[in-house]
Amino acid sequence: MFDRDRIPEKSTKRVVFLWSLVMGLLFTTAIQAQPADTLLLRGKQILEAGLAQGDMDQLLTARATFERVTADAARAALAHYYIAYTEYQLVNLLRSGSQEDGTDREGEILVRLQSAVEQLEISIERDETSADAHALLSSVYGQIIGARPLMGAVLGLKSGRAINRAKKLDPDNPRVVLIEAISNWNTPRMWGGSPDKAMEGFERAALLFTQEELADPLLPSWGHNETYAWTGIAYMDRGQLRKAREAFEKALEVDPDFGWVRYALLPSLEAQEAAESN
């Protein structure tokens, strides 16, 4: 505990003056210029708000914000990663159908997925050690295969290589574990998918998210809420509705604004519960 009497008043004033000086400098600098880190943080905030509200406009704004950061050599790898992640989420939003129908939704999905691949390739070129980038690339390849099964023969291998690289770089990265689990969930059994492996992955990812300590707020931090959402989906599929509800509630504990769970998954669960009780 701090004790006022134990701190010499003169030196305290000096400390406070310096602190004020620094804060004032930061404050005015922040108004005047928007360095890469500030832009990245702002982009992340806009992206998170957009995802919570399912608002494509905010996602597009976030994408534009990240694009500006690509001019900064020190943060370019992260900026490209976040552009790709935004594209990935835009695709999810386009697929969810919550947006008004465009003229060529399928075409836009493919363009955005291709853009995500390009951005991740640049990101990896600049920082080969990013497990997050390799894992997301694996997932994007998976989405392209979903849209173009014909590409499965080639992209399936690339996807496998990317997730293996991610696991090698950071086996305990919860987003890497989550992405592999989602892949296991979405891939048909005949193509090597496994719901059991997926469930194991969701549970491990949940544990890893609770242990994750982010040293840098600029680094990727998404996925904790999604992990519980996927866990709930897996339980729903098994008919374990009580456990599914627990998982969705945990997702909302982590992120009370999580629109996917609040407005899509929970109502779906409730409908299933009602059907069972009848």
Partner 1 sequence: MFASAHWFMFFTKASITTFLCGLCFLTVVQAQIPERAVLLGEVVDAGGLPMPFVNVQITGTTDGAATQRDGRFEFATQHRGRQVIQATMIGFEPAKRVLHLAPGDTVTVRLVLREALIALDEVEVTASAYSTGEAETATLQSLEVVTTPGAAADIFRAIKTFPGVSMVDEGAGLFVRGGDVSETVILLDQATLTHPYKFESPTGGVFGIIPPFMVRGTVFSSGGFPARYGNALSAVLSMDSQNMPQQQNYSFNLGLAAASLGVNVPVVPGKLGLRFTGNRSFTELMFRFNGQHDQFTISPRGYDGNLSLIYQYSPTGRLKFFNFTTDDRLGVHVDQPSFDGVYRGQTTSWLHNVQWIDIYKGWLVQTSASLNRYAAHQQMGNLDLEPGDDTYKLRTDVERASSERASIRFGAEAERTRSRFRGTVPFQEDILDPAADVFELDEVYSATRTGAYAEVEMKPTRRIAANTGVRTDYHSLASTVVVDPRISLRYALSKNTDVRLAWGLYHQFPAPFEYNTASGNPALGPQRAQHFIAGLSHERDLLMLRLEAYHKPYRNLVLRHPEFNHTNGGEGMARGIDVFAKYGAFLRTRFNGWMAYSFLESRRVQRRHLGREVVYERAPSPFDITHNLTIVAKFRLVGFLSSGLTFRHATGRPVTPVVGALAEGNGSYFLPIEGSVGSERLPDFRRLDASLSYFFRFGEGHDITFYFSVGNVFNQANVIDYEYSADYTERGERTTNYRRFLYFGATLNLNR
Which residues make up the interface to partner 1 (CB under 8 A)? 1-4, 7, 12-13, 16-17, 19-21, 23-25, 27-28, 32-36, 39, 57, 60-61, 63-65, 67-69, 71-72, 104, 106-107, 110-112, 115, 148-151, 153-154, 157, 161, 190-192
Q: State the minimum distance, in angstroms, from the CB of residue 51 to partner 1.
A: 16
Q: Which is nearer to partner 1, 31 or 215 (CB)?
A: 31
Q: State the minimum distance, in angstroms, from the CB of residue 69 to partner 1.
A: 6
Q: State the minimum distance, in angstroms, from the CB of residue 21 to partner 1.
A: 5
Q: State the minimum distance, in angstroms, from the CB of residue 163 to partner 1.
A: 14
Q: Would you say 79 and 70 are in contact if contact means Cβ atoms under 8 Å apart?
A: yes
Between helix 36-53 and helix 76-96 the angle, nearest 10°, is: 10
**Residue 46 to residue 52: CA distance in whole angstroms:** 10
Per this entry, what is the length of the chain? Answer: 278
In 3-state terms, what secondary structure has residue 6? Answer: helix
**Residue 275 to residue 268: CA distance in whole angstroms:** 11
Kindly state the greatest CA–CA separation across the chain.
Answer: 75
Residue 3 corresponds to which amino acid? D
Residue 141 corresponds to which amino acid? Y
Q: Which is nearer to partner 1, 190 or 274 (CB)?
A: 190
Please choose, from the candidates 84, 78, 92, the residue with its C-alpha nearest in 3D space to the C-alpha of residue 41: 78
Q: State the minimum distance, in angstroms, from the CB of residue 81 to partner 1.
A: 16
Q: Which is nearer to partner 1, 66 or 228 (CB)?
A: 66
Q: Which is nearer to partner 1, 56 or 264 (CB)?
A: 56
Residue 30 corresponds to which amino acid? A
Q: Which is nearer to partner 1, 124 or 266 (CB)?
A: 124
Q: Which residues contact 243 (CB under 8 A, 6 or more apart)?
A: 232, 235
Q: Which is nearer to partner 1, 73 or 215 (CB)?
A: 73
Q: State the minimum distance, in angstroms, from the CB of residue 33 to partner 1.
A: 7
Q: Would you say 117 and 82 are in contact if contact means Cβ atoms under 8 Å apart?
A: no
